Amino acid sequence: MTPWNRARAMALGLRTRLLLAFALLGVTTTAVVASGSYFQARTVILQQAQDAAVASLTDQLTKVYPILGLPPSPEELNVLAQRLSDRDSYALVHYRDRWASGVDGREPLTPELRKEVAGGQIAWQRVDRGGHPVLLIGTQLRIERSDGTSVESGVEVYSVRSLASEQRSIDRLATLAWVTGGLSLILAVLLALLAARGVLRPVRELGRAARRLGEGDLSTRLTVRGVDELADVTRTFNDTAATIERQVGELRRMEADARRFVADVSHELRTPLAAMTAVTDVLDEEADRLPGDAGQAARLVSQETQSLTQLVNDLIEVSRFDSGTARLALDDVDVAAAVTATLRLRGWTDRVRTELPPGVVARLDPRRLDVIVANLVGNAFRHGAEPVSVRLRAEPEWFTIEVADEGPGLDPEVLPHVFDRFYKADTARTRSEGSGLGLAIAWENARLHRHGGQSGSLVASNASRGGAVFTLRLPRTAAETTAAGGVR
């Protein structure tokens, strides 16, 4: 998972998604309700103001009815305008090209309005004048004929009414809508948090339990609460954990049985082998004196008894690693001297190129070091090609021993398996060349040396110019504690 993906997954976590959903729901509902009622109230308020203004104008015009003869004098127009003006509005009166009171009413009036009024209609329009909403109402005075009909007089009366108080009411409504929206958003978030907690707590508990299970605590169980889907999941988790625990327990028991069987068999084999081994020297001494086949048979029995002893010893060693009973017998050792002794003991001194700086002192199990080095060098002779080289390198806390040969190196397919038990790269290899446990034991021996939470290691690789390289890395001060048996 890339950091970006992780960030996105975290951003869209369950809690976040719930919060977003609740907030969105709250905001949407509030927006729809608040804006709906806002617009409706606004329309009603404006409509009422408008209707009232039109009614008031018509009413007042009725009062000044009938008008004097045409054309009206400027005084008449002024009086008319004065009469029609009140606290909230003022009137503009127009006849042909004259405006009452000398006020030029063309400025606030729109051409559409004037055109409609000129056509004899009562017309109104809301306009915005410098940020203030204004209602314009216009009509023509009519002249009543003697026969009861009336005609347009050409006297246009306009009322310019401020809608400031209505606008204030509408503004209050808008503020109220915003406040309601904000409050409902907060409420939605709180509800979301509450719901998220309710859902997330069991989910989080489930997550923790799953993690514990993954870490190997197979006895992990959860308390089932309620009867919802989460309770179902919890119950399923518990059932699964129980099944896993049972099966793993069964497998472990079987594995332990198998290991104990190997250990028991090995121990049982020791007694007859002890008797046979005791007399192999007798066989070896007598073999030369025995005629033909008998001598050959005696030598074969002697040799194979030794191989079998080696195999059984190796099996017991391996079972000791498996059961965790392998212990380190620590001693302070000059590593170079120890390696030299290992080579000398087996007569390899002249065949190995060494690079062993003196003075690398380490606290380790010298016999286990001997087993590892002897195994690596022995393998190099058997499977690689000479010259075989052994290089010691020291670090402050650790040291490495590198055993390299000039052979063809290890097949890439073989490389991951070289430390497996009884793994044989070459199926044609004869058994007498080793028990097949040598490298597995060397690997376990390396791991048994621990320091500061880290184990020693044995790694196989190929040199760039060919040839196998085994690198042993051990701490210079191995811990006294015994490591649990390595399970491979």
Partner 1 sequence: MPQVLLIEDHQTVRDGLQLALTRQGHTVDAVATGEQGLERMRASAPDVVVLDLMLPGMDGFEVCRRIRQRGDLPIIMLTARNDDMDVVAGLEAGADDYVVKPVQARVLEARIRAVLRRTGGDSRRPGPERPGLHQHGALTIDRAALVVSKGGVPVSLAPTELRLLLELAYTPGQVLSRQQLLEAVWEHGYLGDSRLVDACVQRLRAKIEDEPSTPVFIQTVRGFGYRFGPL
Q: Which of 151, 275, 297, 463 binds partner 1 (CB under 8 A)?
A: 275
3-state SS assignment for residue 333: strand
By CB under 8 A, is residue 278 in contact with partner 1?
yes
By CB under 8 A, is residue 366 in contact with partner 1?
yes
Q: Which of 149, 271, 427, 481 binds partner 1 (CB under 8 A)?
A: 271
- Residues 392-411 binding partner 1 (CB under 8 A) are none
By CB under 8 A, is residue 370 in contact with partner 1?
yes
Applying CB under 8 A, what is the total number of residues that bind partner 1?
31
Q: Is 275 exposed, middle or buried (0-12, 13-18, 19+ CB in 10 A)?
A: exposed
By CB under 8 A, is residue 300 in contact with partner 1?
no
State in angstroms the smallest separation of the CB of 16 from partner 1: 59
Cα–Cα dist 97/80, whole Å: 16
By CB under 8 A, is residue 451 in contact with partner 1?
no
Between helix 229-287 and helix 164-214 the angle, nearest 10°, is 30
State in angstroms the smallest separation of the CB of 256 from partner 1: 18
State in angstroms the smallest separation of the CB of 447 from partner 1: 18
Between 184 and 280, name the residue whose CB sits nearer to partner 1.
280
**Own/partner pairs, 113-117, CB within 8 angstroms, 24+ separation:** 113/138, 113/158, 114/138, 114/156, 117/156, 117/158
State in angstroms the smallest separation of the CB of 463 from partner 1: 30
By CB under 8 A, is residue 121 in contact with partner 1?
no
By CB under 8 A, is residue 277 in contact with partner 1?
yes
Between 114 and 476, name the residue whose CB sits nearer to partner 1.
476
Cis (ω within 30 of 0) for the bond into 357?
no
Nearest of 224, 221, 229, 225 to residue 245 by alpha carbon: 221
- Residues 190-209 binding partner 1 (CB under 8 A) are none
By CB under 8 A, is residue 282 in contact with partner 1?
yes
Q: Which of 6, 8, 260, 267 binds partner 1 (CB under 8 A)?
A: 267
Tokens coding 131: 């940020």
84: enclosing H helix or E strand: helix 74-84
Between 13 and 272, name the residue whose CB sits nearer to partner 1.
272
Whose structure tokens read 């376990």? 444
Distances (CA, A) of 374 to 19, 302, 403, 437: 67, 23, 10, 13
By CB under 8 A, is residue 435 in contact with partner 1?
no
By CB under 8 A, is residue 276 in contact with partner 1?
yes
State in angstroms the smallest separation of the CB of 218 from partner 1: 31
Q: Which of 270, 299, 391, 393 binds partner 1 (CB under 8 A)?
A: 270
By CB under 8 A, is residue 314 in contact with partner 1?
no
State in angstroms the smallest separation of the CB of 287 from partner 1: 14
Q: Which of 142, 363, 393, 424 binds partner 1 (CB under 8 A)?
A: 363
Rounded to 5°, angle at Cα 243 from 239 and 247: 170
| Beta carbons of 266 and 312 less than 8 angstroms apart | yes
Residue 458 neighbours by CB distance under 10 Å: 23
By CB under 8 A, is residue 274 in contact with partner 1?
yes
Q: DSSP of 254-293, one letter per residue?
A: HHHHHHHHHHHHHHHHHHHHHHHHHHHHHHHHHHTTS-HH
By CB under 8 A, is residue 480 in contact with partner 1?
no
Cα–Cα dist 168/172, whole Å: 6
State in angstroms the smallest separation of the CB of 276 from partner 1: 7
Specify the stretch interacting with partner 1 by CB under 8 A; choose among 96-104, 139-147, 273-281, 351-359: 273-281
Tokens coding 305: 């008894």
State in angstroms the smallest separation of the CB of 372 from partner 1: 13
By CB under 8 A, is residue 280 in contact with partner 1?
yes
Cα–Cα dist 326/328, whole Å: 7
Nearest of 27, 18, 23, 45 to residue 180 by alpha carbon: 27
State in angstroms the smallest separation of the CB of 254 from partner 1: 24
Sequence-separated (6 or more) residues with CB below 8 Å from residue 321: 441, 444, 448, 485, 486
State in angstroms the smallest separation of the CB of 488 from partner 1: 22
Site string for partner 1, 321-350 (x = CB under 8 A): ----x-x-x-xx--------x--xx-----
Cα–Cα dist 420/418, whole Å: 6
| Beta carbons of 316 and 468 less than 8 angstroms apart | no
Between 2 and 271, name the residue whose CB sits nearer to partner 1.
271
End-to-end Cα spacing for the chain:
29
State in angstroms the smallest separation of the CB of 274 from partner 1: 4
By CB under 8 A, is residue 485 in contact with partner 1?
no
Chain positions contacting partner 1, by CB under 8 A: 267, 270-282, 285, 309, 312, 316, 320, 325, 327, 329, 331-332, 341, 344-345, 363, 366-367, 370
